[in-house]
Amino acid sequence: MTGTTQRGHTAPGRLLYFTDPARAAVDYALLAYSAPLLAALPRGDKHPVLVLPGLNTSDASTYTLRTVLKGLGYKTYGWQLGRNIGPTSKAVHGTQARLDYLTNRYQQPVTLIGWSLGGIFARKLARRTPSAVRQVITLGSPIRLARHEQSRANRLFHRNSHEHIEPLDLPLERGAGPLPVPATSIYSKLDGILAWRACLDEPSPRAENIAVLASHFGITGNPATLWAVADRLAQPPDRWAPFRPPALLRMAYPAPESRS
């Protein structure tokens, strides 16, 4: 593993890449020993939540996360668009239609949670229709990807680029400024797919980065991730504040890095 890789500027080295699936199994296995933690998760106002999957995955990949949030009372939904192969017409128009449906049904803004590529979709939705979005939470999402070489999934993404209707202009969100809604990026230096620094949001009064110890494929089921997500969802919409882990869980959250 090179120094550049360790600093998060390039795609993860082979060790992190090849061990990511096995480490994901550990992330999910930890849930079996986290019953007291799950029982104590922060609870909020049970508002609607839309969860978007990552590249080449479907709603099955976010099942655990959605199940936990449903158990907390949130009206939690998957995107119901099959496998995510990028910004196809089906995905771009389908996610907007899904958001419109939920805001109309519940007559209130929706929290968007996106894993990996799903997080990029979530942020684009928030920029298009900020009045429909309560907040955006991204999990292992390369929201500030600057070069294709920062992702081990680059070839997989471009395999279906002939079906994409929106270009992937790099750096992502160049000159776009902060999101018009509160934004939380949960990332991991142990990510085996993405350069972790590409997941860091720009500092702003309503944007934050939360570091966890998780794999890329296991970040949606990691207990520390679930606590942070539940904490963010439990906040009143008019009193957003940066995440502060409880004292007993502080070791599960390394100090977040800056984007420099």
CA 108 vs CA 47, 99, 134, 189: distances in Å: 8, 11, 8, 35
Query: What distance separates the 2 farthest-apart alpha carbons in the chain?
Result: 50
Indicate the residue type of 83. R
> 136: helix, coil or strand?
strand
pLDDT number for residue 72: 98
Query: What is the β-pairing status of strands 207-212 and 183-188?
Result: parallel
Going by the DSSP 8-state scheme, the letter that residue 208 receives in this structure is E
List, in sequence order, every residue forming a beta bridge with 27; answer none if it has no partner.
Answer: none
Rounded Cα–Cα distance for residues 109 and 141 (Å) = 22
Residue 258 dihedral angles phi and psi, to the nearest 5°: -90, 170
The residue among 139, 209, 140, 203 whose CA lies nearest residue 177 is 203
> 88: helix, coil or strand?
strand
pLDDT number for residue 3: 46
One pLDDT digit (tens) per residue for the chain, 260 residues? 444 455 788 999 999 999 999 999 999 999 989 989 999 999 999 999 999 999 999 999 999 999 999 999 999 999 999 999 999 999 999 999 999 999 999 999 999 999 999 999 999 999 999 999 999 999 999 999 999 999 999 999 999 999 999 988 899 998 889 999 999 999 999 999 999 999 999 989 999 999 999 999 999 999 999 999 999 999 999 999 999 999 999 999 998 876 65
List, in sequence order, every residue forming a beta bridge with 94; answer none if it has no partner.
Answer: none
Rounded Cα–Cα distance for residues 110 and 97 (Å) = 13
Indicate the residue type of 234. A
Rounded Cα–Cα distance for residues 253 and 31 (Å) = 17
Going by the DSSP 8-state scheme, the letter that residue 211 receives in this structure is E
pLDDT number for residue 15: 98
CB 37, CB 64: distance < 8 Å: no
Going by the DSSP 8-state scheme, the letter that residue 235 receives in this structure is S
pLDDT number for residue 8: 82
Domains in the chain with CATH codes: 3-236 (3.40.50.1820)
From the number of C-beta atoms within 10 Å of its C-beta (0-12, 13-18, 19+), residue 32 rates as exposed
